[in-house]
């Protein structure tokens, strides 16, 4: 930390709290990458072919008085426990702002959160972190996947969560099928029963300012995933997103995008091979 400095005022406390709460549902270990303009959260499951979540936002949309300095082009990366960060944020939820900075005690680096109480005393909580070198982050890449056959807006996440919770009681494998005509269905199948839920007339995303591309409504795609994984993704409704988009690469990948103003969260959900 000798040549590393980071200090900022967290203004958007509740939204930041909801983001940490959402990511912590995947797993507690997370990598945070800070630059002069952006903040990224990267969660990669320990298991092989596991869950990955890449999230980020422009620093100015959550912080003010944002100052960062390092030998690595003013970039800082560290590993942090989201559960501990979540608890530290919880104590400052009612505060208009939280001062966030890197500190060190007995050679242990911390991300310290300081909240000014009503009696003008300051309450500080340090969350231990592990500083990561540039080579560690450069080795981490988002999955390189083919273009999806189908991309479709998801229905209201809270309603969908209720559907998935009911299906979860029947089996642990969820089959997701969608087409480019606005149809999306979720199915679980056991030896005794097959239950499916159908959604129709859903929108397909397109880039703002451009006319929607011509699409073939007959194109469809299907994947199978562990239902608990899809359920963890749906917890992202906590950030109150504007859009949730499901992208399916037939029998290859399920990628879900959560979008809210400057914030994005991309979920790479491992699929079950149908061999």
Residue 265 backbone phi and psi in degrees, to 5: -135, 125
Residue 261 corresponds to which tokens in the numbers above? 């103003």
**pLDDT band (50, 70, 90) for residue 2:** low
pLDDT, average across residues 248-253: 90
Q: Is the pLDDT of residue 9 over 80?
A: yes
Return the structure tokens found at 183.
């149809």
Average pLDDT along the chain = 90
pLDDT for 230 equals: 95
- Residue 172: the pLDDT is 93
Q: Please say if the pLDDT value at position 112 is more than 70.
A: yes
Q: What is the dihedral of CA 113, 132, 144, 53, to 10 degrees?
A: -30
Q: Rounded to the nearest 5 degrees, what angle is found at the Cα of 87, between the Cα atoms of 82 and 92?
A: 120
Which residues on neighbouring strands pair with residue 244, listed in sequence order? 258
What tens digit of pLDDT does each residue of 44-67 get? 986 656 789 999 999 999 999 999
Reported as a single tens digit per residue, the pLDDT across 207-236 is 555 555 667 888 999 999 999 999 999 999
Q: What is the pLDDT of residues 156-199, one digit of tens each?
A: 988 999 999 999 989 999 999 999 999 999 999 988 889 999 99
Which residues, including other chains, have CB under 8 Å from residue 138's CB and lie 6 or more apart?
none
- Which stretch of DSSP H or E encloses residue 197? strand 194-199
- Mean pLDDT, residues 79-107: 93
- Whether 91 has a pLDDT exceeding 90, the answer reads no
Round to whole Å and give the CA distance between 187 and 99.
47
123 CB burial (10 A radius; 0-12, 13-18, 19+) = middle
pLDDT at 143: 86
Nearest Cα neighbor of 196 from 183, 208, 206 is: 183
Q: Which residue has the higher pLDDT, 121 or 164?
A: 164
pLDDT score, position 206? 73
Structure token pair of residue 222: 């299907």
Report DSSP letters for 58-123, one per residue.
EGGGTEEEEEEE-TTTT-EEEEEEHHHHHHHHHTTTTSS-EEEEEEEETTEEEEEEEEE-TTS-EE
pTM: 0.92
Q: What is the pLDDT of residue 252?
A: 87
């Amino acid at each position: 930390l000798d040549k590393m400095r980071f200090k900022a005022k967290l203004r958007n406390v509740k939204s930041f709290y909801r983001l940490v709460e959402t990511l912590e549902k995947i797993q507690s270990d997370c990598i945070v990458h800070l630059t002069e303009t952006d903040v990224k959260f990267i969660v990669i499951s320990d298991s092989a072919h596991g869950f990955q979540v890449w999230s980020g936002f422009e620093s100015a949309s959550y912080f003010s008085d944002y100052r960062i300095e390092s030998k690595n082009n003013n970039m800082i990366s560290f590993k942090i426990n989201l559960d501990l960060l979540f608890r530290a944020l919880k104590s400052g939820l009612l505060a208009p702002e939280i001062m966030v900075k890197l500190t060190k005690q007995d050679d242990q680096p911390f991300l310290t959160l300081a909240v000014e109480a009503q009696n003008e005393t300051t309450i500080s909580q340090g969350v231990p972190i592990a500083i990561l070198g540039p080579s560690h982050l450069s080795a981490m890449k988002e999955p390189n996947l083919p273009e999806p056959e189908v991309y479709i807006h998801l229905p209201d996440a809270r309603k969908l969560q209720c559907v998935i919770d009911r299906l979860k009681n029947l089996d642990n494998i969820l089959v997701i099928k969608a087409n480019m005509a606005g149809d999306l269905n979720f199915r679980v199948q056991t030896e005794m029963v097959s239950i499916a839920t159908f959604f129709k007339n859903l929108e397909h995303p397109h880039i703002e300012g451009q006319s929607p591309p011509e699409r073939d409504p007959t194109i469809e795609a299907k994947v199978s995933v562990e239902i608990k994984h899809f359920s963890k993704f749906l917890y992202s409704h906590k950030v109150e997103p504007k859009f949730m988009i499901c992208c399916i690469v037939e029998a290859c990948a399920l990628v879900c995008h959560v979008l809210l103003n400057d914030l994005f969260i991309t979920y790479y959900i491992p699929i079950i091979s149908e061999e």
